[in-house]
């Protein structure tokens, strides 16, 4: 097999990435994930230019199939190179003193984390309480004034012997005057112990097997040098604008982290599809038949294949738009929200269906499906909770403050749905005299906001797929799947009955069923990254042979013989 020079496949042959099976959660596996993240970072070799200019190399690194080999390592990679390096990089261009720390971040000589949200401040991070007070000598004192001001979730414990730093967001206080929120570069520890005045409290793991060392971090009068702050001492004219500029890299992360769903869904459908082809059941006549023979097994796999085929051209179109700096950042961020909303809808449904269709095998973590499903749930919250992002963007669109790219194929079913849905909500908004911050808007409009963004995303994804020449059979099933997401609208507005919709899906599925093996083989490049034992009979046998086996020579009578004789 030809391996592109930028491929991460060679990493799999190194001892660090080799695995005999599922790696149960432990300190050792967590430590290994940090070492792997470092090697992945060094393999991709991202530069300041890649990070600031959002080159194809930057985006490809967030779609690398190695994500599925170690999800924890990928999360660390994304935090390091998008959030932290991306926040510091613009300042490093103007401040030579920041280049050494930037070089350490890019080479993963330090592990970096991004500390914005606090225990009491999640979606309202603009109200965070952590302070950084300017001292007479130009230094700062970083402090968490209350338990609720502790930073929530970013990993901060000493691990793997890798020194840790963080970009910490805090209120700049100068002579008792609040100058707004600024990012500060803070040393957390030397890899063996925490720095003085910094406390980390390890949280229990989230429900997906191997997890990151999510923590609660607080600061007690921590002294920072004058060079720690990024930005100016001046008080901004508009605090909100200053805050949004300080955290703008989160907007990049909205898109970057969502890209991991592409290799994730490909991996999941390959596992479930291969398993369904080889898993046999016996019919009434006694002959074996694969479970893929049943339409209820076919549909989740075929829809996931169609969605993964559409997601990639959609991602390529969105990343190209996002990298176009001639577009206003709010427009680019809006496109990222649309992408995130759409792909999350596909993957949330597909992961759940694929897990279920693998039966008992699907719920075991060693088969990777539930692990990827859990990561997908986390993606819905990370770098901006998707529901909140959709509410903001949909409101901007309905108020005419944000303009989305026009439909290229306005006569398609999906484009008609988008156009009609927007018109319907604008009419509804016109009947709310109190404005978009009223209780009427809260009760009548907010429940529709996510659906509006999904309608836009479906249309954009479809058009990107058509433009890239995606397989027409897959495209037809994708269209049928989108129609099912808002079935009643198509009935009410286009006269497409439920029976018509069912037939639309059935015909598309009929065309694809004979090609299932071929379509799964197209995803063969993912196979070396997959650990799941159920992918093949050989893998399953090897997995079982490596599991703990218990034997013995005991005997146990269910009925006590002495007691039996006494009764007789």
DSSP string, 529-541: G---GGG-HHHHH
Residues 118 and 102 in one domain: no
Residues 118 and 195 in one domain: yes
Residues 230 and 308 in one domain: no
- Any domain includes 511: yes
Q: Which of 502, 525, 548 is the last residue of a domain?
A: 525
Q: Give dist(CA 533, CA 543) in Å, integer.
A: 6
pLDDT digits (tens, 9 = 90+) for 152-169: 999 999 999 999 999 999
For the chain, give the mean pLDDT: 92
Model confidence at 1: pLDDT above 50:
no
What does the pLDDT average to over 382-386?
80
Q: Give dist(CA 369, CA 375) in Å, integer.
A: 10
**Higher pLDDT residue, 381 or 218?**
218
Q: Which residue in 101, 252, 270, 278 sits closest to 187, CA to CA?
A: 101
Residues 271 and 159 in one domain: no
pLDDT value of residue 207: 67
Model confidence at 5: pLDDT above 50:
no
Q: Which range of residues forms the domain containing residue 153?
A: 114-238
Q: Which of 80, 109, 138 is the last residue of a domain?
A: 109
pLDDT value of residue 3: 37
CA atoms within 13 A on the CB side of 343: 32
Residues 274 and 216 in one domain: no
Residues 195 and 332 in one domain: no
The SS3 of residue 151 is strand
- Any domain includes 536: no
pLDDT digits (tens, 9 = 90+) for 511-544: 999 999 999 999 999 999 999 999 999 999 999 9
Residues 7 and 125 in one domain: no
- Any domain includes 533: no
pLDDT value of residue 138: 96
- Any domain includes 530: no
pLDDT value of residue 254: 87
Q: Which residues of 423-447 are buried (b: 16+ CB within 10 A; e: fewer)?
A: eebeeebeebeeeeeeeebeeebee
- Report the domain count for the chain: 3
What is the token pair recorded at 100? 């050494």
Element housing 114 (H / E): strand 111-115
Q: Looking at the whole model, is its pTM more than 0.85?
A: yes
- What CATH number is associated with residue 163? 2.40.110.10
- Any domain includes 568: no
Question: Phi, psi at residue 160, to the nearest 5°?
Answer: 65, 10
Q: Which of 238, 262, 292 is the last residue of a domain?
A: 238
Residues 127 and 164 in one domain: yes
């Amino acid at each position: 097999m030809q391996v592109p020079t930028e491929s991460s496949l060679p990493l799999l042959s190194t001892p660090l990435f080799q695995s005999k099976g599922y790696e149960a959660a432990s300190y050792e596996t967590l430590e290994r994930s940090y070492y792997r993240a470092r090697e992945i970072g060094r393999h991709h070799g991202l530069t300041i230019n890649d990070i600031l200019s959002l080159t194809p190399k930057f985006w490809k690194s967030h779609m690398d199939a190695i994500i599925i080999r170690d999800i924890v390592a990928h999360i660390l990679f994304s935090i390091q190179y998008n959030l932290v390096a991306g926040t510091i990089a613009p300042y490093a261009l103007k401040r030579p003193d920041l280049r050494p720390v930037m070089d350490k971040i890019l080479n993963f000589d330090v592990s970096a984390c991004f500390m914005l949200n606090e225990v009491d401040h999640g979606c309202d991070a603009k109200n965070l309480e952590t302070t950084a007070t300017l001292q007479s000598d130009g230094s700062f004192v970083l402090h968490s004034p209350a338990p609720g001001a502790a930073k929530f979730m970013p990993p901060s414990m000493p691990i793997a012997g890798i020194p840790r730093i963080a970009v910490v967001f805090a209120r700049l206080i100068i002579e008792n005057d609040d100058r707004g929120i600024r990012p500060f570069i803070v040393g957390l520890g030397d890899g063996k112990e925490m720095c003085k005045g910094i406390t980390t409290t390890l949280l229990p793991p989230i429900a997906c097997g191997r997890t990151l060392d999510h923590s609660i971090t607080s600061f007690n009068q921590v002294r920072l040098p004058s060079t720690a702050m990024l930005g100016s001492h001046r008080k901004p004219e508009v605090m909100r604008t200053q805050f949004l500029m300080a955290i703008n890299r989160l907007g990049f992360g909205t898109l970057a982290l969502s890209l991991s769903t592409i290799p994730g869904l490909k991996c999941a459908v390959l596992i479930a599809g291969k398993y369904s082809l080889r898993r046999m059941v016996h019919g009434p006549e006694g002959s074996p038949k694969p479970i893929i023979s049943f339409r209820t097994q076919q549909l989740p796999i075929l829809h996931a294949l169609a969605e993964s085929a559409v997601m990639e051209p959609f991602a390529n179109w969105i990343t190209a738009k996002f990298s176009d700096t001639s577009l206003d950042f709010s427009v680019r961020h809006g496109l990222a929200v649309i992408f995130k909303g759409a792909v999350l809808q596909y993957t949330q449904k597909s992961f759940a269906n694929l897990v279920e269709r693998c039966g008992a095998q699907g719920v075991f973590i060693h088969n990777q499906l539930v692990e990827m499903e859990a990561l997908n749930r986390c993606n819905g919250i990370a770098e901006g909770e998707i529901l909140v992002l959709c509410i903001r963007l949909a409101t901007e669109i309905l108020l005419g403050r944000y303009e989305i790219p026009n439909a290229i194929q306005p006569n398609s079913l999906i484009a008609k749905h988008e156009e009609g849905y927007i018109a319907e909500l604008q009419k509804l908004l016109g009947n709310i005299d109190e404005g978009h911050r009223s209780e009427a808007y809260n009760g009548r409009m907010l429940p529709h906001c996510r659906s509006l963004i999904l309608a836009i995303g479906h249309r954009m994804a479809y058009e990107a797929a058509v433009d890239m020449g995606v397989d027409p059979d897959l495209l037809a099933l994708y269209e049928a799947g989108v129609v099912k997401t808002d079935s009643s609208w198509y009935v009410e507005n286009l006269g497409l009955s439920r029976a018509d919709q069912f037939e639309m899906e059935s015909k598309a599925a009929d065309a694809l069923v004979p090609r299932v093996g071929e379509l799964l083989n197209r995803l063969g490049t993912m196979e070396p990254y997959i650990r799941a034992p159920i992918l093949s009979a050989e893998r399953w046998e090897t997995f079982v042979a490596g599991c703990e086996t218990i034997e013995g020579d005991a005997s146990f009578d269910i009925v006590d013989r002495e007691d039996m004789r006494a009764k007789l």
